[in-house]
Amino acid sequence: ILNVEQSPQSLHVQEGDSTNFTCSFPSSNFYALHWYRWETAKSPEALFVMTLNGDEKKKGRISATLNTKEGYSYLYIKGSQPEDSATYLCASLNQAGTALIFGKGTTLSVSS
Amino acid sequence: DVKVTQSSRYLVKRTGEKVFLECVQDMDHENMFWYRQDPGLGLRLIYFSYDVKMKEKGDIPEGYSVSREKKERFSLILESASTNQTSMYLCASNRDQGATEAFFGQGTRLTVV
């Protein structure tokens, strides 16, 4: 079973704080790394899909980096807002490259 | 607006019943997936399919089967429901296997009593 690890498990920050989470995955047979945001009572929604070592992607105040050689990705949120409160999931492809395997997620809570 | 639709938001079934969870997508995606989500365990892959009539076991297939007779529809079947199958079930689909984002249904919260 492919092991995708996320840390921390949960995080509580104040509005305006910047924060980051880590996703680690096996670096062998790497195909792609996905980040999703899952808000309460909604479906998970894709933030980024990254495939190349050194990839950096940005969407508004959220950005992500990818290191496929060492098997990790960081998700950054600049100036957290209460609406950023959600569970952030990362996923990597299984060894056959056919299915997404998810980490357990990082749950972010932002207080105003 | 792209859509993955699961047939029920909430279901309550009795132990031993045969349960069908249906998922339909309107994006002509080749790949479809069934996950279950449990507190502290994250999303775990049950089964997936990359083509009509094709299926592959995920990490936790025991007690489940699937059916994909049409490209747009992927059904998860609990052959004989048990209380340890009480969970949130999520269906997802995507194109080109891992290179493109997955789209998720709204989830089905199944309770087996």
Q: Which amino acid is present at B15?
A: T
* Mean per-residue pLDDT pooled into runs of 10, chain A (112 residues): 90 96 91 94 94 95 97 97 97 84 96 94
- Chain B environment of A94 (Cβ under 8 Å): 45
- Low-confidence winner among A20-24, B61-65, B93-97 (lowest mean pLDDT): B93-97
| Mean pLDDT score, B8-27 | 96
Best residue in A33, A57, A101 to probe B by mutation, most B CBs within 10 Å? A101
Q: How confident is the model at residue B2 (pLDDT cuts 50, 70, 90)?
A: low
Which one of B50, B101, B103 has the shortest CB-CB distance to A98?
A: B50
Please report the pLDDT score of residue A99 as a whole number.
87
Asked whether the beta carbons of B49 and B65 are under 8 A apart, the reply is: no
Q: DSSP secondary-structure letter at B57?
A: E
Cis peptide before A44 (omega within 30 of 0): no
Please report the pLDDT score of residue B112 as a whole number.
98
CB contact under 8 A, B33 and A99: yes
Cis peptide before A82 (omega within 30 of 0): no
Closest chain B residue by Cα to residue A48:
B101
B42 touches chain A (CB under 8 A): yes
Q: DSSP secondary-structure letter at B3?
A: -
CB contact under 8 A, B99 and A89: no
Please report the pLDDT score of residue A50 as a whole number.
94
d(CA B74, CA B41) in angstroms, rounded, equals: 24
